Structure 1
Amino acid sequence: MSLWPWHDEAWSRLQARRERGALPHALLLAGPAGLGKRDFLAAFVKGLLCQHPVQGMACGTCRACQLVAAGTHPDLVALSFGLRKDGATRSEIVVDQIRDLSQRLSMASQFGGWQVVTIDPADAMNAAAANALLKTLEEPTPSTLLALVADEPARLPATIRSRCQRIDFLVPPRETALDWLRAQGVADAAAALDAAGGNPGMARTWAADGALKQRGEVRHDLKALAAGRGDAMEVVKRWQAADPSRYLWFAAQAVTDELRARASGTPPPLESQLDDEALDGWYTKANRARDALRGPLRADLVLLEVLAAWR
């Protein structure tokens, strides 16, 4: 498994700590989805459990590597969304999962080395689960590494964050991202990267699934609504049927371009009738709506409220 180009520095720091025998008992891999932190963690965990690693990378052939590949390594626990009693997947990590984990960690490593736990997404733990995990973090067992992955680390309690060694995954320089995208075979790399706000992993995904077309639809819809020609309910139906969070992302991005155009004196792409202050407020409203979509609110009502404010 090869690292992504912008992982090199974090990888080197972590491996240096490993060689000194100074690995922390808890890691927090934080940053937006699309920057490869899960691939980074997978490579690190494989190397940590491998019996014959080379520069921190797993050999891929030893018994430990084979067990990791099969998902049956006895010293590796991957914690994520569990199932409810009705068989449906939960939307949060609950306290019973953390209690079961604590009991598991009370037993010795079967391979005589590290016990590794990954919690992903850690920012989906509910309050009770986070409190239970805090007790485990405060009293770590020897040769145990807990690795938390969070796209939105601010959703984790400060008490959890403060007890982890944090590795932040940041958007790389534009040229680095473009070179990587081209190497991945992304045809219109620059347009995809612009749509993804500079996030190369997101750009690769969006280039493959028609997101650039959706970005154009959003701008067309907002321009039409601003001119009084569009039907807000029809727009809501289309946005809701696809990926409402992504449509709101593109909408907020379009408003940023509108404000930049006004500031530079160039023709604004949306021709909005809102003044700059109102546009700034709408940008905030669109981003808050993206957060609201994670909750129990109906997506159509969330979208309708935002689009009503646009008109």
Structure 2
Amino acid sequence: MSAMPWHAEHWARLQARRARDAMPHALLLCGPKGLGKRDFMRRFAEGLLCQQTQDGEPCGRCRSCLLFAAGTHPDFATLSFGLRKDGVQRSEIVVDQIRDLSARLAMSSQFGGWQVVCIDPADAMNAAAANALLKTLEEPSQQTLLLLVADAPWRLPQTIRSRCQRIEFHLPPREDALAWLQQQGVKDAAVALDAAGGNPGLACAWAQEGALARRQEVRKDLGALAAGRGEAMEVARRWLDNEPEQRLWFAAQAAAEEIKARAITASGPLASQLDAEGLDQWYMAANRTRESLRGPLRGDLLLLELLARWH
């Protein structure tokens, strides 16, 4: 399993703890989406369960590794969004799932070694589920490891965070990120990295899925609205139909660049009619709207209100 270069320090620290037989009972892997937290988690879990591991790396050939690759290892489980009784996928992790997890961990390991459970996304646990998990965290079984993966760890209760060893993934230095993107064959690596806010994992994914063209569309839409040539309703419908959260990310990014340009010249590249304070408020509103799209409010009305303010 290939590793991203910015994982090396975390990997070495965990392997040193493993060598000293000082592994924590719970790890919180957190940081922005796109930095490979889940790849790191699977690599570490597979290596922990591997019967012929070398320096923590899974061999990929032993019975344990073959079962892990097939998704049938009896001592590894992943807890995520379950299904409601009507078959619809839940939007949160609920207390019954945590109770089932606790019952599973109360049993002995089938391979006589570690039991590893990943909760992903851990920040999707509701309050009752988080409270139920506390008991397991406070009274851990021997050779049991809980791996909590969270893009937004601040949504987890402090009581959960304080009982986990935190492994925080940060954006790597720009030169390291560019070198990695070039190794992945990403064209216009610098443009992709800027679009993703310095996040190489997102930059790679976005470059492959055509997000850079979407970014240019967002800038053209905002420029047209500022010049009075576009219709906010039409733009809102188009954005809502195709990656609205990503488009709002690019819109906020464009507003930030407009603010920076205003500090140097009288007008920015999008020629917005908003003053400096208005641009700053619009930037914050774009980010709030991106979050609100995940809730129950109508997305078309949220986007229309935001774009009307820009217009």
TM-score normalised to structure 2 length: 0.98
| 1:109 corresponds to | 109
- Cα drift, residue 256 of structure 1: 0.7
Counterpart secondary structure, 2:263: helix
Counterpart CA distance in 2 for 1:59 and 1:27 is 23
Alpha-carbon distance between aligned partners in 2 of 1:90 and 1:8, rounded to the nearest angstrom: 35
Shift of 1:270: 1.1
Give the 3-state SS of the residue equivalent to 1:167 in structure 2: strand
1:156 aligns with 2:156: yes
Match of 1:277?
A: 277
Letter paired with 1:59: C
- Report the count of equivalent residues: 311
Aligned partners of 1:214 and 1:63: how far apart in 2?
Answer: 45
For structure 1, which runs of at least 5 residues remain unmatched after alignment?
none
- What's 1:85 paired with? 85
Query: Amino acid of the residue matched to residue 265 of structure 1?
Result: T
Structure 1 letter corresponding to 2:234: E
**Deviation sequence 1:143-166 (CA, Å, 0-9, x none):** 100000001111111111111000
Aligned pairs for 1:204-283 (under 5 A) are: 204-265=204-265, 267-283=267-283
Sequence identity percentage = 70
Tell me which residue corresponds to 2:23. 23
CA-atom RMSD in angstroms: 1.0
CA positional deviation for 1:304:
1.1
Query: How far apart are the structure 2 equivalents of 1:300 and 1:138?
Result: 45
CA shift for structure 1 position 302: 1.4
Equivalents in 1 of 2:45, 2:264: separation in Å? 49
In structure 2, C-alpha distance between the alignment counterparts of 1:83 and 1:54, rounded to whole Å = 38
Aligned equivalent of 2:201: 201
1:138 aligns to what? Answer: 138
Q: What SS is found at the alignment partner of 2:270?
A: coil
**Matches of 1:5 and 1:267, distance apart in 2:** 40
> What is the letter of the counterpart of residue 198 of structure 1?
G
Distance in 1, matches of 2:266 and 2:17, equals 52
Query: How far apart, in 2, do the equivalents of 1:303 and 1:99 lie?
Result: 40
User: C-alpha displacement at 1:264, in angstroms?
Assistant: 2.2
Deviation at 1:280? 0.6
Matched, 1:123 2:123: yes
Aligned mates of 1:267, 1:281 — CA distance in 2: 17
Structure 1 residue matching 2:149: 3-state secondary structure? strand
Where 1:58 maps in the other structure, the secondary structure is coil
Deviation at 1:134, TM superposition (A): 1.2
Deviation >3 Å, runs of 4+ = none
TM-score normalised by structure 1 residue count: 0.98
Aligned equivalents of 1:215, 1:66: Cα separation in 2: 41
Q: Report the alpha carbon displacement of residue 266 of structure 1 after superposing the two structures with TM.
A: 7.2
Counterpart AA for 1:23: M
Q: Show the counterpart of 1:179.
A: 179
Deviations 1:45-99 (A, max 9, x none): 0000001101100011111111111111111111011111111211111111000
The amino acid that maps onto 2:223 is: K
Partner of 1:54: 54
Q: Provide, for residues 79-125 of structure 1, a one-character-per-residue CA deviation record: whole Å limited to 9, x for no partner.
A: 01111111121111111100000111110111111110000011111
Superposed displacement of residue 267, structure 1:
4.7
What letter matches 1:135 in structure 2? K
